[in-house]
Amino acid sequence: MKRLLIILTALIVMPVTRIAAQDTLRGCWIGLSWGTGLGHFYDQGTGPLLFEGLEIHPAVSFVLERERWRLEASIPVAGGLYLQSLLEADPDVMAVMPELRGEVQWQLLRHGRWRLLAGGGLAEVLDFRNYPQLQNNSTGLSNFLLLKVSGRGELYLGRWVFHSQLMFSPVGYAYRPGYAYIANYDQTMQDPTADMLGEHHGYVVGAPSLGFDLGTTVTIRHGNRIGFAYRWHHLTSRSTELCPHRFDRASHALTVTLMINL
């Protein structure tokens, strides 16, 4: 068994290492992002009701580019205030949505100034929401693990690089409250763990996520870059027998990123 594992690991690692060694390093950057936009979510466990509001989208990322492949790891931490109507004065819901993403893309085609890449990766998403008006049932916590595939097109014009990218998750794993989106976290004060996770259930989700990114990056002094992008993302829990109350969220954001050359 050990020999088989060693052989399989070598078959996977050796070709990748060989390709990486033959590739020319194009650059390595740390990215610091900030964005704002509009967010929506539809919650069948609290009504059902549609909420909308303003979001912020800070993030930190690491990008490594070689001649034929691209690696990106990022930690976005979005937050928002939501209303049932934008005409209301006080927010009905507050949310924090941290994520952990990792992705590798390989060059499929290079023609003149155009480049096409495709690849995939993993993302873990935590969704934390608080509904002050619901008192003891006011806090909801969901977790998603997403398998992603992606395609990216790039156009090089001097110091500028224009890109569009489509991200799709064919399958994922959700861990959510079962009887409603809002879990009753103080029904058993003697056991906070039971309050927090006792009603949560895990299940496989088909096609839980879809995203789109359109933007441009310009190279400035010392190899540093500044990027501008429009990003749209949708996430859904779907529903099962144990978790019948579906949850959907979508966001539109305009972001700016400073990429520091390492």
Residue range 177-221, pLDDT digits in tens = 765 545 455 555 566 556 566 678 899 999 999 999 999 999 998
At residue 70, the pLDDT reads: 95
Are 247 and 42 within 8 A, CB to CB?
yes
Amino acid at 218: V
pLDDT over 90 at 129, yes or no: no
Q: Give ∠ CA 37-38-43 in degrees, rounded to 5.
A: 140
Asked if the peptide bond before residue 48 counts as cis, ω within 30 degrees of 0, the response is: yes
Helix (H) / strand (E) element for 194: namely helix 192-197
Are 225 and 183 within 8 A, CB to CB?
no
Share of the chain above pLDDT 90, in %: 61
* CATH number given to 25-261: 2.40.128.90
Whose structure tokens read 């927090």? Answer: 196
Domains of the chain by residue range? 25-261
pTM of the model as a whole:
0.83
Are 129 and 139 within 8 A, CB to CB?
yes
Measured distance CA(85)–CA(52) in Å, rounded: 7
Measured distance CA(83)–CA(199) in Å, rounded: 27
Q: In terms of Cα–Cα distance, which of 185, 96, 102 is closest to 139?
A: 185
Measured distance CA(194)–CA(185) in Å, rounded: 8
Segment 5-47, tens digit of pLDDT:
455 445 444 554 555 555 788 889 999 999 999 999 987 876 6
Are 15 and 242 within 8 A, CB to CB?
no
Q: What does the chain come to in residues?
A: 262
Residues in a beta bridge with 242: none
